[in-house]
Amino acid sequence: MVTGRSEESGSGKAGSQPLSRERIAASLRRTPPELRATETGLRPAAVLLPIVERTEPYALFTRRTDDLPSHAGQICFPGGRYHPDDDTLIRTALREVEEEIGLPPDAVEVAGFLDTYETLNTGFTILPVVGYLRADFKLIVNPREVAEVFEAPLSYILDPKNQAIKSVERGGVLREFFAIEYGGHTIWGATAAMVVNLSERLGLR
C-alpha cells in the first residue's frame, strides 16, 4: 500500500477560476437526489468523493485489492452498499470510509451531493457524497479491501482535456466510458463518470 500525492498538475487546469470551497459548494446538490432506478432490482449504495484541503485541492482515491469478489484492482472512491441500520446513504458513505481507510465520520465535512449513478453490470444505484478532509488527516487502511490510497489534483482530473472517452464491445454492444490517466493509474467507469459529473456541475464541460 502506498499513500501519497504527485505534483502532476501542470498538464491541464480546470478553468481560470480557482476551485474554492464556495465555487464547489454552489455547484453541488444541497440535498440528496431521490434514488429512482431506471432498472428494477438495483440496490442503493453510496460513495464519498473526498476533497483534501490543501493549497490546491486534491481528490482522494483508493485502489481495491486484486482478490475482492467485485471491482478487484479498480480505482474508486471509498463506499459501498446501503445497510438497513445506516439510516441514510450519507451514513453508508461515512461508514464505508471508516471501514476502508479508517477515517472517522467527524473527520469528513459533507459539502453536498452529485447526481446518482447506476451500475447495471453490478446492480447498484449510487449516491456520490462530496466531503472535505483536512490536510492533516490520518489513515488506517484496511489491507483486505484497499491496496493503495493516492491523491490527484482536483484541477487536473476535472479538466475535460484529461477526460478521454473510450469504448469496449461486450456481447455485441459497444459501450463508451470516461477514463482519466493520472500518476500511472487509470480512473474509469463509475468513478470517472462521477468526476465528469462534478466537471459538468461546475460548468467546465
Percent of the chain topping pLDDT 90: 71
**Residues in the chain with pLDDT < 70?**
1-16, 35-40, 66-73
Contact 180, 34 (CB under 8 A): no
Of residues 137, 72, 153, 127, the one with CA closest to residue 98: 137
Within a domain: residue 152? yes
Within a domain: residue 134? yes
> For position 109, which CATH number holds?
3.90.79.10
Of residues 121, 115, 124, 187, the one with CA closest to residue 158: 187
- pLDDT tens-place string over residues 134-193: 999 999 999 998 999 999 999 999 999 999 999 887 777 778 899 999 999 999 999 999
Within a domain: residue 129? yes
Domain count, the chain: 1
Within a domain: residue 173? no
Within a domain: residue 65? yes
Within a domain: residue 184? no
Against a cut of 0.85, is the pTM above it?
A: yes
Cα 83 from Cα 73, distance rounded (Å)? 24
- Which domain, by its residues, includes 196? 15-31+39-158+190-201
Cα 158 from Cα 11, distance rounded (Å)? 12
Within a domain: residue 185? no
DSSP bridge partners of 51: 59, 132
Cα 29 from Cα 90, distance rounded (Å)? 13
pLDDT reported for residue 174: 73
pLDDT reported for residue 74: 86
Contact 177, 168 (CB under 8 A): yes
